[in-house]
Amino acid sequence: MSKSIKKNYIYSVLYQILSMALPLVTIPYVSRIFGPDGLGIYAYASSINQYFYIFALLGLNNYGVREIAMVGKEKEKRDIVFSEIYCMQLFISVLILLFYILFVLIWGAQYQVFYIILSLNLIATLFDVNWYFFGMEEFKLTVIRNAIIKVLSVVAIFLFIKESSDLWIYIFIHSVSVLLTSIALWPYLRREITFIKPRIPNVIKHIKPNLILFVPVVAISIYKYMDKIMLGNFSITDAGYYENVEKILTVVLGFVTALGTVMLPRMSYLAANGSKENAFAYIIKSMDFVMFLSIAIACGIFAIAPDFIPIYFGTEFLPCVEIMEALVITAIIISWANVIRTQYLMPFHHDRVYVWSVIFGAITNFLLNLFLIRQFGAIGAVISTIIAELIVAIIQSVKSKKELPVFRMIMRSIPFLSFGIVMIIVVRIVSALQINIYMRLILEILTGVVVYLVPASVYLKKLIK
């Protein structure tokens, strides 16, 4: 990796961590206050709100980044592209906000107060210009401004959340944080962009390509949010279990997805300038690094789950152990597909492959959920998610193998998996020790780090040198 990519990767990792810092730091606290049922209500209401949120932003988190990255440092073109895309964003966000208000008034009676508070998330979409700064590879600015907001949010939760009836305050803090994060970038944006009133046809031309990248966003949401909505209808408690496990995985996967965030604008620039050889070299090295991280995450979490869950969430959440042990496999699958998607399919405009693979995975996930959630609850949702993610990764890999050395990348990843399996075995032996559970968990983590990182780091260094 070049120095600029490494630097941006560090900032992107910090951004991902900060974006999820609130749940990561506060989960042990709020889990004990709200319990599985309270968190299940939050998961259910916020998942419905998220559907409106993703419709408001369409595919901008990918499309906007790519379009800004392709015009690069040419300010005049950048002003025009930004103005056109933002006008489209503004119109769609207002439209979706109106639909959301109708939903709350007509169908949202059960959790109406929560839905009203969550509307702040949709107001935030009117101001969300993160895609511009990511497209310009200006990660430092975003991280620094968001850090203050995230830290204040964490402090607010510990100050104001005292009992189960404070669930509305918890939701309010989350939503205000999202809104302030969006607004915080505007003072800098005004110094960097000269808004140019675009012609309507020039705004409309962005809708179709943006919608193409929006289709997989909706499809992915089926097994990111629909799981919790369907679980909430089946059992609020199961939705609470699933929500906590998914939050942990989302946080740790931030280390992996951060690389995709950094590489998308860089690879889009290389694709636009015909530098395929350099781009493919980056992809192979990125996959090595991502497999190194994701296998460590998956095997590490699997190994410590029995002791980690009761300490971190509380004994009420012991059923989460089985859920977490099963769901961690998606960390490896999602990470693999993330590299293929953000570093090859999207930068090189293979959008159809990306779209259809995710649609097929989403349909599979939804149909499996209809049967498996009714039969097995949260574990049924996990099984459906694993199968869906695997289908997406396989389709994208098969469609990419004409240009990418997919088989070679798989073979280079196998040693990491073997190191991970050894780590699981050794850590589970340590977990059998009859000592204080807190001391045992610390010993498990230290043992896992040494057993995996020493051989895996040496191997990784040989691969990417």
Q: pLDDT class for 27, splitting at 50, 70, 90?
A: confident
* 11-20, 147-156, 294-303, 323-332: least confident range: 11-20
The answer to whether the CB of 78 falls within 8 A of the CB of 131 is no
User: How does residue 445 score in pLDDT terms, banded at 50, 70 and 90?
Assistant: very high
In tens, the pLDDT along 93-140 reads 999 999 999 999 988 888 899 999 999 999 999 999 888 887 787 767
Structural domain boundaries enclosing 274: 3-464
Residue 72, phi-psi category: left (phi > 0), alpha (psi -120 to 50), beta (remainder): left
Beta carbons within 10 angstroms of residue 364's beta carbon: 18
The count of domains in the chain is 1
| Nearest alpha-carbon partner for 44 in 262, 241, 305, 293 | 241
Distances (CA, A) of 385 to 174, 328, 333, 388, 398: 26, 11, 11, 5, 20
Q: pLDDT digits over 227-250, tens only?
A: 778 887 788 888 888 888 888 887
Q: Which helix (H) or strand (E) holds 156?
A: helix 139-160
Can you tell me the distance from the alpha carbon of 183 to that of 309, in angstroms, rounded to the nearest whole number? 36
Angle (CA) 67-71-72 rounded to 5° is 110
Q: How far apart are the first and last CA of the chain?
A: 10
- Is the pLDDT reported for residue 201 higher than 70? yes
List, in order, residues 6 or more apart from 292 with CB less than 8 Å away: 416, 456, 457, 460
Reported as a pLDDT band with limits 50, 70 and 90, residue 2 is low
pLDDT recorded at residue 282: 80
Instruction: Please determine, for residue 257, whether its predicted confidence score (pLDDT) is greater than 90.
Output: no
pLDDT-derived band at 446, boundaries 50, 70, 90: very high
Of the listed ranges 43-47, 83-87, 395-399, the one predicted with least confidence: 43-47
- Residue 144 CB-half CA count within 13 A: 8
Tokens at 164, concatenated: 């189960």
Q: How many residues does the chain have?
A: 465
